[in-house]
Amino acid sequence: QESTHIYTKEEVSSHTSPETGIWVTLGSEVFDVTEFVDLHPGGPSKLMLAAGGPLEPFWALYAVHNQSHVRELLAQYKIGELNPEDKVAPTVETSDPYADDPVRHPALKVNSQRPFNAEPPPELLTENYITPNPIFFTRNHLPVPNLDPDTYRLHVVGAPGGQSLSLSLDDLHNFPRYEITVTLQCAGNRRSEMTQVKEVKGLEWRTGAISTARWAGARLCDVLAQAGHQLCETEAHVCFEGLDSDPTGTAYGASIPLARAMDPEAEVLLAYEMNGQPLPRDHGFPVRVVVPGVVGARHVKWLGRVSVQPEESYSHWQRRDYKGFSPSVDWETVDFDSAPSIQELPVQSAITEPRDGETVESGEVTIKGYAWSGGGRAVIRVDVSLDGGLTWQVAKLDGEEQRPRKAWAWRLWQLKAPVPAGQKELNIVCKAVDDGYNVQPDTVAPIWNLRGVLSNAWHRVHVYVSP
Ligand code: HEM
Ligand code: MTE
């Protein structure tokens, strides 16, 4: 009998390049798939996401791998077994406020571990119109609270003459259920491009601080109506407080205008479901606000309290953050009271394939990406250029049709275009147009701001053409 090679997790994790060999694991088995990478029907870049580690978290997303022919193919590359001791879970440090955070998907590109902030890699972001829950971008300011669904209560402060409510999860389920597809985008999406112009304060998001899900829940307007609220004061805001808080006990908070909250057409939800599942802990379990067409910061997670106030929320994240300024404003001169809080977002698009710096085949190139606009404005067109913006072609829009004034979700788009003969490099650019004929600015510098928000210039990718 042949002796089986035993490898440690560390050995496996050091095999992530063609030079060292590319290894992966499935269960306790170790495989050297170096020779298979370029043959992978899903493309080499996707396989490489799992290089040096387990396949399970990726294959859980792509059921095509649950077939005997895929297992047989993989078996040909087996080189040994994992050291059994490596299966023992590491002990957790309990004094760490983040020790109880949930386990995350390894495909996520982590911008900060504590608090957890991460985005899906571009090659997975537009693979699905609906982003799978485990790779939906995550933007946390604080540790993730661990809430008991049985004792959870949502406090809704009543109107004068109305009644305050203390709603259990069951109570929320008793309101009429609505389900809508909504794209969530962080104000800081594509901030890394602003940093290249001049330093900004914030996490280095690339193009992935945006994702799309089917959300189900009760309408905020129905819940507010039960607490006796009506649309009377036009300046009033609905303030939300999360159950995540910092060491001083300050909770995450944000607000939206009462007019939007009470408008049934605005479809603001108190969501308890994401893509047919209870909300994952990172995305607000058990209840979060979903405000279609509005910046991610207002979609308060782990929702604890809802109240109607004469003015917008006094939360730091409403008044001292998530605002846009002129490029001339710096941290010495900034007056946060002089600018309104961001609510609806401007038109946005980005290229997810090919990647910057990649080499593409001569002949034909396939370009893919996403496009979205705030306020329910539909994307009516995406223009793509291969020559830095001199000439343009119109991309094909995929994904769900958008309803007029209620285009809450993105369109994915693609363009197959011949590579002009003799071209050694391509400067690929995309720009979207929404149904208000709003367009994206062509460069970053004129929209640069000290906080690096609202980064929506034409997206540019430079690639080489293989000779
Ligand atoms: C498709 C094998 C890793 C994503 C496939 C198919 C095979 C395969 C045989 C075609 C299945 C069919 O159509 O019947 C493998 C092997 C892997 C691996 C042996 C590891 C050694 C990955 C990883 C990802 C991934 C890590 C994702 C991050 C995909 C996708 C498709 C696919 C999206 C579908 C492509 C399409 O429909 O165009 N893979 N795969 N694979 N794989 Fe993998
Ligand atoms: N809600 C609470 N309670 N705490 C938070 O840190 N982050 C906000 C918003 N809601 C946040 C929150 C920000 S800035 C964004 S962009 C979205 O949640 C991100 O939602 P996601 O993590 O589900 O993608």
Q: Torsion angle of alpha carbons 309, 310, 311, 314, nearest 10°?
A: -40
Q: Is the pLDDT of residue 90 over 70?
A: no
pLDDT for 244-254, tens place per residue?
Answer: 987 778 899 99
User: Rounded to the nearest whole angstrom, what is the distance from the C-alpha of residue 55 to the centroid of ligand 1?
Assistant: 10
The mean pLDDT value for 33-52 works out to: 91
Using CA atoms, how far apart are residues 304 and 319, in angstroms rounded to an integer? 20
DSSP character string of 352-376:
EESPTT-EE-SSEEEEEEEEE-STT
Q: What is the pLDDT of residue 2?
A: 62
- Please enumerate in sequence order all residues whose Cβ is within 8 A of that of 95, keeping only pairs 6 or more positions apart, or say none: none
Using CA atoms, how far apart are residues 372 and 382, in angstroms rounded to an integer? 10
Considering every ligand atom shown, identify the ligand nearest to the alpha carbon of residue 25 and give its number. 1
| DSSP state, residue 276 | T
Using CA atoms, how far apart are residues 416 and 385, in angstroms rounded to an integer? 12
Tokens of 244: 């995540």
Ligand 1 neighbourhood includes 49 CB (under 6 angstroms): yes
Q: Torsion angle of alpha carbons 192, 197, 201, 204, nearest 10°?
A: 10
Q: Are 288 and 301 in contact (CB under 8 A)?
A: yes
Backbone angles phi, psi at 265, to 5 degrees: -70, -20
Considering every ligand atom shown, identify the ligand nearest to the alpha carbon of residue 48 and give its number. 1
- Please enumerate in sequence order all residues whose Cβ is within 8 A of that of 264, keeping only pairs 6 or more positions apart, or say none: 219, 221
The mean pLDDT value for 460-466 works out to: 97
| CA 8 distance to own-chain centroid | 33
pLDDT range class, residue 197, cuts 50, 70, 90 = very high
Ligand 1 neighbourhood includes 50 CB (under 6 angstroms): yes
Q: Which residue has the tokens 């590319």?
A: 22
Using CA atoms, how far apart are residues 14 and 381, in angstroms rounded to an integer? 44
Considering every ligand atom shown, identify the ligand nearest to the alpha carbon of residue 143 and give its number. 2
Using CA atoms, how far apart are residues 118 and 18, in angstroms rounded to an integer? 27
Query: Which alpha helices (H) appear in 151-277, and where do they start and end?
Result: 169-174, 191-197, 220-226, 258-262
Q: Are 221 and 229 in contact (CB under 8 A)?
A: no
Q: What is the pLDDT of residue 249?
A: 81
**Strand 396-398 vs strand 210-219: parallel, antiparallel, or unpaired?**
unpaired
Please identify every residue annotated as catalytic.
40, 65, 139, 186, 322
Using CA atoms, how far apart are residues 428 and 367, in angstroms rounded to an integer? 9
The mean pLDDT value for 460-464 works out to: 98
Q: Are 242 and 303 in contact (CB under 8 A)?
A: yes
Q: What is the pLDDT of residue 61?
A: 73
Q: What is the pLDDT of residue 89?
A: 53
pLDDT range class, residue 339, cuts 50, 70, 90 = very high
In order of 2, 138, 166, 297, 311, the CA distances from 252 in angstroms are 59, 15, 20, 10, 17
Ligand 2 neighbourhood includes 287 CB (under 6 angstroms): no
The mean pLDDT value for 200-204 works out to: 91
Residue with the nearest Cα to atom 33 of ligand 1?
42
Q: How many CA atoms lie within 13 A of 156 on its CB side?
A: 22
Considering every ligand atom shown, identify the ligand nearest to the alpha carbon of residue 126 and give its number. 1
Long-range Cβ contact pairs of 248-251 (< 8 A, separation 24 or more): 250/316, 251/304
More confident residue, 453 or 93: 453
User: Rounded to the nearest whole angstrom, what is the distance from the C-alpha of residue 297 to the centroid of ligand 2?
Assistant: 6
Ligand 2 neighbourhood includes 283 CB (under 6 angstroms): yes
- What's the whole-model pTM score? 0.86
User: Rounded to the nearest whole angstrom, what is the distance from the C-alpha of residue 42 to the centroid of ligand 1?
Assistant: 5
Residue with the nearest Cα to atom 24 of ligand 2?
138
Q: Is the pLDDT of residue 66 over 90?
A: no
More confident residue, 88 or 439: 439
By most ligand atoms within 8 Å of CB, the mutation choice from 38, 48, 65, 128 for ligand 1 is 65
Q: Which residues pair with 413 in a beta bridge?
A: 369, 397
Q: Percent of the chain having pLDDT more than 90?
A: 87
Radius of gyration of the chain from Cα atoms? 24
Q: What is the pLDDT of residue 87?
A: 61
**Lowest mean per-residue pLDDT among 22-36, 57-71, 429-443:** 57-71
User: Rounded to the nearest whole angstrom, what is the distance from the C-alpha of residue 159 to the centroid of ligand 1?
Assistant: 55
Q: What is the pLDDT of residue 440?
A: 98
pLDDT for 19-30, tens place per residue?
Answer: 999 999 999 999
**266: closest CA among 290, 292, 238, 289?**
292
pLDDT for 382-427, tens place per residue?
Answer: 999 999 999 999 999 999 989 999 999 999 999 999 999 999 999 9
**Lowest mean per-residue pLDDT among 87-96, 356-365, 415-424:** 87-96
Ligand 1 neighbourhood includes 65 CB (under 6 angstroms): yes
The mean pLDDT value for 116-126 works out to: 96
| Identity at 135, one-letter amino acid code | I
Q: What is the pLDDT of residue 246?
A: 77
More confident residue, 195 or 92: 195
Using CA atoms, how far apart are residues 380 and 402, in angstroms rounded to an integer? 9
Helix (H, G, I), strand (E, B) or coil at 221: helix
Q: How many CA atoms lie within 13 A of 64 on its CB side?
A: 4
Q: What is the mean pLDDT of the chain?
A: 94
Give the chain's largest Cα–Cα span.
83
Using CA atoms, how far apart are residues 49 and 109, in angstroms rounded to an integer? 10
The mean pLDDT value for 90-117 works out to: 84
Residue with the nearest Cα to atom 4 of ligand 1?
42
Q: What is the pLDDT of residue 165?
A: 98
| Identity at 252, one-letter amino acid code | Y
User: Rounded to the nearest whole angstrom, what is the distance from the C-alpha of residue 321 to the centroid of ligand 2?
Assistant: 13
Q: Percent of the chain having pLDDT more than 70?
A: 98
The mean pLDDT value for 123-146 works out to: 96
| Identity at 247, one-letter amino acid code | P
User: Rounded to the nearest whole angstrom, what is the distance from the C-alpha of residue 322 to the centroid of ligand 2?
Assistant: 12
The mean pLDDT value for 195-221 works out to: 96
Q: What is the pLDDT of residue 189?
A: 98
Q: Is the pLDDT of residue 133 over 80?
A: yes
pLDDT for 264-298, tens place per residue?
Answer: 999 999 999 999 999 999 999 999 999 999 999 99
